[in-house]
Amino acid sequence: MKHLLFTRLPSACISFTIIMLAASLINLFHSSVFVFPIQLFCIILGCQVLDWLLSYVHFKSYLRYCLTESAILYAGALTAALLLDWISWKPASIGFFTLIFLAADAFLFWYFKRRQKLLADEINQLLQ
């Protein structure tokens, strides 16, 4: 499980990002305008900046941190998705987007919480 959490998932995400950026650059040089990967990269970068800024705020619990970050990210992601025409303004489309966002958000918070727990367990074993 540790190998999956620390190696496989991050390497898959990094590989996907590099492939998407390379495909975008190739498309831009061949006059084929497909800006979705660049838009997505900018949004992911914005999410990382938000996470970095929130790391300076002292929350009373991890749950409050998760809820605050999720609410801000959801508002930003939904706004971007609607303005960039990734989804339509129909309630069903917004609902489906919300379900996907919540599933991805829950998985990411679970992933990092689990990863921190594995690290803490490993450190505690070394200290004993």
Say what the pLDDT of residue 33 is. 65
Classify residue 63: in a domain, yes or no. Answer: yes
> Where do we find the tokens 């609607």?
82
Which stretches of the chain drop beneath a pLDDT of 50? none
What pTM was computed for the model? 0.74
Please name the residues in contact with 6: beta carbons below 8 A apart, sequence gap of 6 or more.
115, 118
Classify residue 108: in a domain, yes or no. Answer: yes
Classify residue 1: in a domain, yes or no. Answer: no
Say what the pLDDT of residue 91 is. 94
Say what the pLDDT of residue 92 is. 93
Q: Are residues 15 and 28 located together in one domain of the fold?
A: yes
Q: Are residues 67 and 48 located together in one domain of the fold?
A: no
In angstroms, the CA 32 to CA 48 distance is 28
Q: Quote the tokens at residue 41.
A: 């990269």
Tell me which of 34, 56, 78 is where a domain ends. 56
In total, how many domains does the chain have? 2
Say what the pLDDT of residue 5 is. 65
Residue range of the domain that includes 47: 7-56
Q: Are residues 114 and 70 located together in one domain of the fold?
A: yes
Please name the residues in contact with 27: beta carbons below 8 A apart, sequence gap of 6 or more.
33, 34
Say what the pLDDT of residue 31 is. 67
